Copies of this chain bind each other. A is one copy, B any other.
């Protein structure tokens, strides 16, 4: 999407020097827009581990380009030593964020492709380059399709409102910053906006890490989409008073039965949407489905993170990003990172193959090859 009027992806090979991969160092957002140049697999590993780049889709693309950087820097005296360096690099990348499914998947896919390529070192480097590009392009293409399907829903609401602004609430950042382009929850919004439909986005700030205020607001603003940041407490009141036409969120893991694991607080918005007859959609590429779990509330593991994220916050003070303490010295904080929204509260799932009911029947209808 656009930043200061120019189209960007979250990751790319530098035009002038193909030995350099560029990412947006998201730690500085929304206060500074910093492009980071990465020349080695170690630099990429740090970027993933320390969350310069984050988000399921983007981490997969980073892993793909991480192996490409490894290939560029690998010893070239023999195929065996080249491949051994690649395999070691894969382990380094996988260790950065052990629970990120896309990371391991992309590393394995790359190593398989480079192994299968056969031939000399040079042709294997070419394969790593191509495969990294394919992984990134696929991610962007899946998000683009999610955008097209989701935009139909927005367009319908717009027609019903006779062209009046469609107000969409979103939680956390399932935007293009978390993927290669478009995002998931944001893709329908960008597509509707690009089609000229009047939209306005209520952006939940999304405590404790504030990905909404920091990232979603920033990327919507840069692309020109009208939006307002609200405290996470606000959505229920807005829905009671007809100020929300639909909710779209992303998800970290959705069971094939339609239970949605996502950023803590998503469940509360789904309850308010149900109580007020507001449609509640979840956008996801099929890689986010868990094809084994049946009961999301009982089975999806919920990460507990450092209490410091609740007790403190980062912000801009005198042009520097500093951490301030919010809580009394001796009050503990508790920090659950995700919650699960039961399928009964979800109006529909927007995937790269279309929109379906949040149910095993709906999901397996779109993905019959996964039928169990």
Task: Tell me the minimal C-beta distance from A283 to chain B in angstroms.
Answer: 20
Task: Tell me the minimal C-beta distance from A112 to chain B in angstroms.
Answer: 38
Tell me, yes or no, whether A134 is within 8 Å of chain B by CB. Answer: no
Q: Which of A268, A310, A334 has the most CB of B within 10 A?
A: A268
Tell me, yes or no, whether A293 is within 8 Å of chain B by CB. Answer: no
Binary CB contact string for chain A from 219 to 241 against chain B (1 if under 8 A, 0 otherwise): 01100000111111111111010
Residue in B230, B314, B317 whose CB lies within 8 Å of A334: B230
B316 contacts A324, CB within 8 Å?
yes
Contacts of A264 in B (CB 8 A): 231, 233-234, 237
A217 contacts B324, CB within 8 Å?
no
B271 contacts A217, CB within 8 Å?
no
CA distance A331 to B302 in the complex (A): 31
A229-B327, A310-B205 given; A265·B234 CB < 8 A: yes
> Within residues 190 to 223 of chain A, which ones have a CB less than 8 A from any CB in chain B?
202-203, 205-208, 210, 213-214, 217-218, 220-221
Tell me, yes or no, whether A18 is within 8 Å of chain B by CB. Answer: no
Tell me, yes or no, whether A301 is within 8 Å of chain B by CB. Answer: no
B316 contacts A315, CB within 8 Å?
no
CA distance A194 to B49 in the complex (A): 47
Q: Which of A265, A297, A314, A330 has the most CB of B within 10 A?
A: A265
What residues make up the interface of A, taking CB atoms closer than 8 Å to B?
A: 30-31, 202-203, 205-208, 210, 213-214, 217-218, 220-221, 227-238, 240, 263-265, 267-269, 271-272, 275, 297, 302, 310-317, 322-336, 338-340
Known: A31-B328, A205-B310, A210-B326. 6 other contacts (CB 8 A): A206-B233, A217-B331, A228-B334, A271-B272, A315-B324, A322-B322
Pull 21 A–B residue pairs with CB atoms less than 8 Å apart, ordered by A: A203-B331, A207-B232, A207-B233, A213-B311, A213-B331, A214-B327, A229-B311, A229-B333, A230-B333, A232-B232, A232-B233, A236-B265, A237-B336, A240-B297, A240-B339, A268-B272, A271-B271, A271-B272, A314-B324, A317-B324, A317-B325
